[in-house]
Amino acid sequence: MATKIRLLALDMDGTTLNEDKEISSENRQWIQRALDAGVMVMFATGRPLQEVLSYKEELGLQTPMVLLNGSEVWSQTGECIERHFLNHDDLIELHHLAVKYGTWFWGYTMDGQVNKNTFKDEFLANEWMKFGIHSHDRGIIQEIRELIKGWNRLEVTSSNLNNIEINPKGVTKASGVKVIGKLFGIDMDQVMAIGDSLNDAPLVAEAGLGIAMGNAEDALKQIADGITESNEKDGVAKAIEKYLF
């Protein structure tokens, strides 16, 4: 192998998955080659557990996972070993902003996903791990993003140009991967990370080898160590082949 990478952290949407939300045969083949070479391959995603398990099973992964942009870290044996919640006052303010601007919103609680259509006021008393805001008006998204960043007490990222994803301060995919690294004695310079969006930026920046997809946002490409093909052209497979072998 060309590098001393011991852990490969993969984003899902826009990265490992194509636009049909499938894992291509080429990606499966090279992920298996990485596993066979002794590299730990794991998902680091904004998705919740119930939206990851079928893909993990498809790949035969017996590895940890970083979910909800780092708000949950799961062990290889299926136990949640770390979980972070938004402050209740922040949650109320985030919901107020979403309502004020008339945007779509969603989030994840211990009871599952909540969105604008299923929301009830009493849900604000629950523990929320992640809050999201979406609008087709990018001007509104930018305005809300700047407002929340101005509070300086939350982690503000996105999975596409039309949304904002909010986690507790300091909680990112990178922080989650570091938890896994400590458990297995893997340093960040032994991590390769592949992603496409701003919620991947902390991990791509801190990993020993950070790779941006060909379809990634320009801001991510600027901080990445390398750029691979798009998710429609087996970019994950191409990156594994080029940088690990």
Is residue 11 among the annotated active site residues?
yes
Strands 104-109, 128-134: pairing kind: antiparallel
Q: Contact 210/193 with Cβ under 8 angstroms?
A: yes
Bridge partner residues of 43 (DSSP): 10, 65
List the structure tokens of 59: 């790949």
| CA-only gyration radius of the chain, Å | 17
Taking the C-alpha atoms of residue 87 and residue 191, their distance in angstroms, rounded to an integer, is: 31
Tell me the residue type at 67.
Answer: L
Decide: helix, strand or coil at residue 38.
Answer: coil
Taking the C-alpha atoms of residue 24 and residue 17, their distance in angstroms, rounded to an integer, is: 7
187: Cβ contacts below 8 Å, ≥ 6 apart: 181, 208
Catalytic residue among 11, 13, 90, 234: 11
Decide: helix, strand or coil at residue 122.
Answer: helix
CB-neighbour burial class of residue 26 (10 A; exposed 0-12, middle 13-18, buried 19+): middle
User: What count of other Cβ atoms lies within 10 Å of the Cβ of residue 187?
Assistant: 13
Task: Please report which helix (H) or strand (E) contains residue 20, including its range.
Answer: none
Active-site residue set: 11
